[in-house]
Chain A
Amino acid sequence: MTGRHEVGARQGGIPAARRGGIRAAWRVLTVGGVISFRGLFNWLNPYIYVPTMLVSPIFQILLFVYIGRSAGVGSDSFYLIGNAVQYASIPCLFAMANTIAGERWMQTLGIVLSTPANRVALFIGRSLPVIANGWFVATFSLFAGARVLGVDLPVSAWPGIALTIAIASASCTGLGLLQAALALRVRSTAVLSNVVFGVLLVFTGTNVALDTVPEWMASAGRLMPLTHAIEACREIVAGASLSAVAPLLLREAGLGAVFAVLGLAALRWVEAQSRRHATLELQ
């Protein structure tokens, strides 16, 4: 037996075994999260990453900006912000699904689930690089889109924008975690991610303001990640202070937390079902 199983010594009221467990979980969360993200997110290849993560969002932004211009509705800034923030869903949904459901294609799932690693740390750890990546992609899209279109985003707004996009990415990754659990079970990541991406594009006020869509769509949109972050980001660019948009950001973060908890519960359920019914082909 190693030292991590000893329970005698106490420090600061925490038994040694518990301290060891916390330390191990922390390392699984941080070091493990980064390594597994590198191992499982196969879009990290520059030939895939640059076109998918850095070029495609610019096309999406240009498409909707020019539709807006030709239809004479909305400002460039409206479409730029909406599409840049919404594009965080590509890395957040696809990468989260890949880094969890991808274990099934690598046939590493059985090995991972036969380890004693803390499951919350294991899965949340994988979400941290996903959030960082989502933040980078959306921020880059906003910055590059603004330069291409000549939209002026005040320097003073950028700290607020950065925070808002970080919360949006975290929130969307929470949904990605739930979707990853489903993808693990139904053996497909891309189909589900594409569908969810489309739903977010329509329902979150990305290109059509929520007060102009049917009430049921607006209500549904308010229960989805990104909706409140996109609204907050637009207000910040329009000159609102962080404290003014705090309620929107709190709602966005709260939704993300709910989805993350649902995702973790779904992953726990999938693992338990697999032990009962051999549903994951763990090898």
Chain B
Amino acid sequence: MSILEAHDLRRTFTTTTGVLRRNRKEVEAVRGVSFAIEPGELFGLLGPNGAGKTTTIKMLITLLLPTSGSATILGLDVVRDAREVRRQIGYVFGGDRGLYERLSALDNLRYFAELYAVPARDQRARIGELLELVGLTGREKERVEGFSRGMRQRLHIARGLLHDPALLFLDEPSIGIDPVGARELRQTIAGLRDQGKTILLTTHYMFEADELCDRIAVIRTGELVAQGTPAQLKARVTAGSVVEVETFSGVGETDVRGRVGVVGALAGVRSVVVDDGAVGETLVVQVEPGADVTAAVLGALRGIRVGRVVTREPTLEDAYVQLVSS
């Protein structure tokens, strides 16, 4: 039996604007998402901001009711059996909030141990094990307000594991963490995977998903657009190449963003994305196998100052970019 099964999950939000004349608007945040997670699997849910990752997670962890569709965790329905589901899951989100700042790490863990009904006689040993696991042994008596973002995130993970959940949700855990902290966090998550813990991880970072996940689903505007192992997703774009053109936009006619449509319409071009840099931009052009579009792309950019032009092999990140931007 799968640990988690989601069938055609949908969630619509109604927003209103105006005071006297209320305008109602319906937003479909999640539009028919279906997937399953097997025991011991580290499953990645990838997508850009606003794609529906967190809304999907909130439905799965019982904080939000689906508009339609269903989901079960260990056979328990996330709507009907919410309290039982909560016993079986752990939930960790990214960012530097979500902990009681004035309390020590130990008190934070003790509090959540009580909320998860960890027996009093087991708490000390369990908290000790988890502090060791996340590398916070010796810092447990310090107030959380003095912790770095990376330390907070590792404490979050320890909190999420207090009751030894069957399924751990990690919602963008590495967001905003410096490279060293993010690497330590990935090591912690890899350690959990190696111990056989079932995890659902959401992230923007393709390399993180590539390094950690057994399977990945890519979500775009509320819909899953691809599912598979990292190798399977890479295979979708390995045939072909990527042309990167460094540009320095002006305003109006000389803004590279205004040329995306033109470049995208060129023969042999699969997709086009503009990445903003510190001083300029990079136009990332995915190209069909065998096509040479460099000259045509530069022609389409006439009038815009162009810097370095590079042709390279596609990466998993390119696969992701193609999936979420096509």
Contacts and interface: CB of A to CB of B under 8 A. Distances in A.
Interface string A24-36: 1001100110011
A50 interface: no
Contacts, number: 104
B114 A31 contact: yes
A275 B60 CA distance: 12
A28 B114 contact: yes
B277 interface: no
Contacts of B84: 116
Interface stretch (B116-124, B237-245, B281-289, B297-305): B116-124
B100 A107 contact: no
Contact of B63 (A27, A28, A275): A275
B117 A39 contact: no
B86 A32 contact: no
Nearest to A31: B114
A116 B111 contact: no
B204 interface: no
Interface string A262-283: 0000000000001111100011
Interface residues of A, number: 37
A35 B13 contact: no
B111 A35 contact: yes
A13 to B, nearest CB: 22
A194 interface: no
B291 to A, nearest CB: 44
B63 A35 contact: no
Given A106-B100, A115-B115, A117-B115, A38 B83 contact: no
A168 B117 CA distance: 32
Contacts of B54: 283
A220 to B, nearest CB: 31
B100 A112 contact: no
B320 interface: no
Contact of B64 (A32, A42, A108, A275): A275
B111 A110 contact: no
A124 interface: no
Interface of A: 2-5, 20-21, 24, 27-28, 31-32, 35-36, 38-40, 42, 44, 106-108, 110-117, 122, 274-278, 282-283
